[in-house]
Homo-oligomer: A and B are copies of this chain.
Amino acid sequence: MLPSSTVENYLKAIYVGETHLVGGQKLVPMGQLASALGIAPGTATTMVKALAESGLVTYEPYNGVRLTPAGEKLAARVLRRHRLIELFLVQVMGMNWDEVHEDAEQMEHVVSDRLIERMDEMLGRPEFDPHGDPIPTPDGQLAHRALETLLTCPLNTPVTVARVTDQDAAFLRFIESHHLKPGETIQVEERDEASDSVKLKGRDDQRMTIGARAASKLLVST
């Protein structure tokens, strides 16, 4: 039985949720899953039990859920499609990086393998999507990069923006308008705990100050 869009969305959310877990944690709590999918907690519980029944996840009541190898394979496939489609929409269709998420969210479930393969080919087997998120390989491997946030990277040292971990359109437009998209080189000049902000030097030595919250969503390579 091929998985429904709903099942694919659950698996993808669990997959992404697992990467967000800190430390040795391995289980995604139901509350987090429910809010990631925008559904009621009870619905998540019911669905996850069904997913466990079909061998795609392991479910520990009151603890959370984890993907089985079978579930992980499916999840990586969906995430690969999502990110390839996003990149395609930006690179080939000329759409803005803040408006491709919703299209990708739907298309990831319906386009044929053949079309995905054509996109991948046209894009030259890309490794990262427009937001710097890694694109899983066809066999489910995720490129791992050692990145730091603007809150932890070295001061007064050129760093390259590599990834933006927030899909919010307004935030993405802000990033773009301040030339902070992946690929741009910047420096962190100062961090101020009290004012909860970070001072940056960007393109053309342009100075700017952003909040710590925003700074934590900009990942850079040194």
Q: Footprint of B on A, CB under 8 Å?
A: 89, 92-95, 99, 102-103, 106-107, 110-112, 114-115, 118-119, 122
**In contact, A89 and B115 (Cβ under 8 angstroms):** yes
The answer on a CB contact under 8 Å between A99 and B114 is: yes
Do residues B111 and A103 form an inter-chain contact, with CB atoms below 8 A? yes
Contacts of A119 in B (CB 8 A): 93
Q: Is the CB of A111 within 8 A of B118?
A: no
Question: How many chain copies does the complex carry?
Answer: 2
**Minimum Cβ distance to chain B for residue A210 (Å):** 29
**Known interface pairs A102-B112, A112-B102. Does A95 touch B118 (Cβ–Cβ under 8 Å)?**
yes
A200 CB to closest chain B CB (Å) equals 32
Task: Give the one of A94, A111, A112 with max B CB within 10 A.
Answer: A112
A95:B115 contact, CB within 8 angstroms: yes
Q: Which residue of B lies closest to A110 (CB)?
A: B106
Report the Cα distance A112→B101, complex, angstroms: 11
Contact (Cβ within 8 A) A118 B94? yes
Residues of B within 8 A of A92 (CB): 92
Task: Say how far A88's CB is from chain B's closest CB, in angstroms.
Answer: 10
Most central of A92, A94, A103, A110 by chain B CB within 10 Å: A110
Q: Which residue of B lies closest to A102 (CB)?
A: B112
- Give the shortest distance, in Å, between A111 (CB) and chain B (any CB): 6
Within the complex, the shortest CB–CB distance from A212 to chain B, in Å, comes to 34
Q: Is A93's CB under 8 angstroms from B115's CB?
A: yes
- List of B residues within 8 angstroms of A111 by Cβ: 103, 106-107
- CB-based contact A103/B112 at 8 Å: yes
Query: For residue A93, which residues in chain B have a CB less than 8 angstroms away from its CB?
Result: 115, 118-119, 122
Q: How far is the CB of A209 from chain B (nearest CB, A)?
A: 33
Which residues of B have CB within 8 Å of A112?
99, 102-103
Nearest Cβ distance between residue A14 and chain B, in whole angstroms? 23
